[in-house]
Structure 1
Amino acid sequence: MLGQGRMAVAGIAGESAHVAGRAASPPANAATYTPAAGIAIDPHSGGGVTTRREKFLPVTRAALLKRLSAPANWPAGEAAHVLRFMRYLDFWRRHDYTARLLDLEQAYDAFAPDSDLKVTRTYTPAEREILKKRVVGQMAQLLEQGNFTRVDPKDVHLILTEDSHYGLDLQVDLDAFEEALIYFRGATTITERRRDIKRAYMGWKEVQVPVFQRLFLLFKLKPFDERVKEVALKHGLTIRQAEKAVRRARALLPKTVTSDHIYMKLFKNIPRSDVEMIFPNTRVRFRRWDKIRFGVSAGGGVGIGIFGTATKIAVMSNPVTLLTAIGALGGVVLRQVTNFFAQRNRYMVVMAQNLYFHSMADNRGVITLLGSRAAEEDIKEEILLYAALAQGRMRASDIGEIDAKIERWLKETFAIDVDFDVSDALGRLKAEGIVRETDDGWLETLPPEAAARHIDMLWDRALDDLSDTINDEGTETAPQESEPAAL
């Protein structure tokens, strides 16, 4: 387990270690929550992200429960209490996240683009601003508790690339968004089979493709008038010209996509070189090779057509010959134009197909899925730390060594190299009363049976401790005369 034989970590002694991590508990006011700093390395770099250890624990909760509660690692009769406590803690943590999601979903009602519920509440601009900040802040909390890593949209060079895994040249206008959150988890590589150019495309070869196993995007468009003013100021245009430019830029979006809504998307196995593909306003541009190919073929075809037409006109003997020559030239031009649009449509189909198979969830579905994943990450961290601390009293100054010991155990047991978030897990166990730090710096952990009873007590008090204060922005619309005022 987390040591030789039984998890003998109680005897750890050593130098104090500084442990960095997230806040032990989320801020009380999510509207003032500041997302973690974005990564300072290029996520498109195959080496930079792969060698960077993530906090994400890529093992199942069941796998950890099975190993951490194995009878061989605990005194006789203790393993059953360990398993019971860990399961109690699992349910308790999920209850905690359910309460958070209720508040988040209520705030999101003001921005949900695909709700099938009757709208009965109106919001002032100030209330919408409060709710927007709450949604963005709480989503950032969920993602960071789920051990996602943030990419700062301001670092445009980290997002926009010239090379595309799918052979597309993509362009995104990030200034069009009022809010944008980008997070990834699981930067790794997958193996794909491709036609081998060395075998004249008759054979196959395996290639390693750097991907993000999970990629999250939240965005809200800027209001039309605000965006028009920005474009006019930035490019020195008149308001009328700026309006045309903004309308043209948003022409790719469905008419239902407006600045009134907040959109969320979760993708899987997105190639790191194609992050641009997930944005709604992505434009597909022709690659340099396509431009050269179209230029040569179109220029040559049209040039020959013009030369032939001019020659026939010069020796024109009757009108039929003239019409035939002009028709032939028109056919050449039409063919080149058709080829141009056909190639562009092929690119759009490639992008749409790949997004379809990479998409996992949208909007409210993303909230539910991420809430579950965040709860799972928390419980995995907590039971790992509890298994190490429950062996006896130890000093808080030794927590860094416990962190390293847990990381070694994960590497030896599951062959995974992670950055275990010990301070976050310790903060939650303290908050729940499972672990207590004494005045002289010792960490005291409840034994498994007592810890299970403690969680049972928390469950008994859950409804009694439920706050009567709820977030209540907005005003319910007055009922129509035909509607009953009360049941």
Structure 2
Amino acid sequence: MSVAVPADAAARDHALPIARSVLVRRLLEAPAFASWRIGLERVAGALTDLLHVEYHRQAERLKDLYAPLDPAAVKPGVPVIPAQADAFSTALRQLLARANYQVVSADELDLALKAESVFQVKLHTRLSDFAELTLFARGRGHRHEIVRSWFGLRRRLIDVEFFEHVALFVRFQPDEHFAPRKRAKLPFKPGTTTLKLFADIPVADLEMLLPNSEVRMRTLDQLVLGVPALLGSLGIFAQLSAALLFVVGLGLSIVGLGEKPAMVTQGELVAFGAALFTVGIFASRQLARFRFKKLQFLKTLTENLYYRNLDNNAGVIHHLVDSAEEEEAKEAILGYAFLLAHGPATETELDTRIETWLAEVIGKPVDFEVDDALAKLQRFNLVTREGERFAAVAIDQAMTVIGKRWNDVLGV
């Protein structure tokens, strides 16, 4: 199994936590852009429409690449062609990068596997089941959660670090990997590729997103169930001791290793049978308690995943395409608007201006990808460059350039 690690595990989050429509409205309301309001609104709308068409085509290509890998389409025993899986993996990673998702590092995943769950559920995952496993996250924050302990008698407030969105990409090992292991019914199809998208996931609970996670008993719960069971069984077996000694003596006499024991009365036999019945009832009760506790854990896990799961498999592609389209549009609109209103600027100057404005609007620091924004504007011919300084083209020219780009996209 390969777990991807980003080149810079400490890279800052580039996602812009503001809707495109709200961003455009705030831009148009700002005094600095008052002179350009009507023109900027036209350019922003045209850019958004152009990106929408381009990303629609990318969505269709991604769906075609994913179709033979979808668990609903893969037939048991029919191997998936590795080249197909690799092509889809490459295209998906490119899309996620445009949507400002970053790869969750191997260290963070390892922490999730070892850390105590915020939801107080212990999980076990076989990482060897995966031929490829990568988690992508976007948006990071902190919130407070109330955690119960001592059977709900104690409550404490803890600080929880969480991801706003997490995309899961998993490619399972082929059939031959699982055949010699003789495992029970697998909760997935070997050789398939699974996509999942989640929201509001604690960093320490990334493990619960993995599709082969199994609920296990925590040490505390094992003690709660095990200690009473042990003490109860000692009392029951003490009652059985006399009858057990008789059975052992009888067995030894039969094989010639002991004297024939004295005959027991009917009352003693009834007592012995009653004791055995009690042992059976006690064992059944403990087993039922164990199963009930495990069902409680499964219920907790299911409830938390149910409200956090945004989409699965092919549906994830549509979510990610929409996110990428939004992020690309916001970056391009911001870059063009600031160059138009404030005049030519270097990459650093433009980055500082936009990040300062975004921090005031959003209320927290944002790492704007100025290089990505300028690359898009250059691709659309909406900026010119002289040395290290970039300048926005006039609004009428921008509309003409976008119109020509539309004709190229539509093949007119």
> Which category of TM-score, normalised to the shorter sequence, fits these structures?
0.7 to 0.9
Q: Which has the higher contact order (CA 8 A, sep 6+)?
A: 1
- The letter for the 1-side match of 2:9 is A
Match of 1:130 in 2: 83
Match of 1:168 in 2: 121
Match of 1:86 in 2: 44
Tell me the distance in 2 between the aligned counterparts of 1:153 and 1:280: 18
Matched, 1:443 2:381: no
Tell me the distance in 1 between the aligned counterparts of 2:157 and 2:169: 34
C-alpha displacement of 1:321: 1.6
- TM (norm. structure 1) is 0.73
Match of 2:332 in 1: 382
Match of 1:243 in 2: 181
Gaps of 5+ in 1: 1-34, 42-51, 229-241, 466-487
Tell me the distance in 2 between the aligned counterparts of 1:252 and 1:224: 11
Match of 2:256 in 1: none
Indicate conservation of the 8 Å contact 1:217/1:266, yes or no.
Answer: yes
- The letter for the 2-side match of 1:219 is V
Aligned length: 389
- The letter for the 1-side match of 2:16 is L
Tell me the distance in 2 between the aligned counterparts of 1:365 and 1:456: 31
Tell me the distance in 2 between the aligned counterparts of 1:394 and 1:71: 19
Q: How does 1:296-315 map to 2 (within 5 A)?
A: 296-311=227-242
Gaps of 5+ in 2: 247-263
Match of 1:277 in 2: 208
Range with bigger deviation, 64-73 or 267-276: 64-73
Indicate conservation of the 8 Å contact 1:393/1:442, yes or no.
Answer: no
Partner deviation per Cα, 1:22-78 (whole Å, 9 max, x = no partner): xxxxxxxxxxxxx8726636xxxxxxxxxx7411110111121112223743464x3
Match of 2:283 in 1: 333
C-alpha displacement of 1:171: 1.4
- The letter for the 2-side match of 1:305 is I
Q: How does 1:348-363 map to 2 (within 5 A)?
A: 348-363=298-313
SS at match of 1:390: helix
Match of 2:162 in 1: 211
Match of 2:98 in 1: 145
SS at match of 2:100: coil
Match of 2:260 in 1: none
Tell me the distance in 2 between the aligned counterparts of 1:291 and 1:95: 56
Indicate conservation of the 8 Å contact 2:161/2:202, yes or no.
Answer: yes
Tell me the distance in 1 between the aligned counterparts of 2:234 and 2:388: 85
Matched, 1:61 2:20: yes
Instruction: Indicate which of 370, 375, 394 corresponds to 1:422.
Output: 370
In the superposition, relative to structure 1, how do residues 200 and 348 fare at CA in structure 2: closer, same or farther (>3 Å)? closer
The alignment's C-alpha RMSD in Å is 2.9
C-alpha displacement of 1:457: 2.0
Between structure 1 and structure 2, the one with the greater Rg is 2
Tell me the distance in 2 between the aligned counterparts of 1:399 and 1:90: 23
Tell me the distance in 2 between the aligned counterparts of 1:369 and 1:183: 14
Match of 1:37 in 2: 6
Tell me the distance in 1 between the aligned counterparts of 2:296 and 2:409: 56
Tell me the distance in 2 between the aligned counterparts of 1:444 and 1:400: 14
C-alpha displacement of 1:381: 1.0
Match of 2:348 in 1: 400
SS at match of 2:141: strand
Tell me the distance in 2 between the aligned counterparts of 1:275 and 1:124: 29
Match of 1:287 in 2: 218
Match of 1:30 in 2: none
Tell me the distance in 1 between the aligned counterparts of 2:157 and 2:177: 48
- TM (norm. structure 2) is 0.85
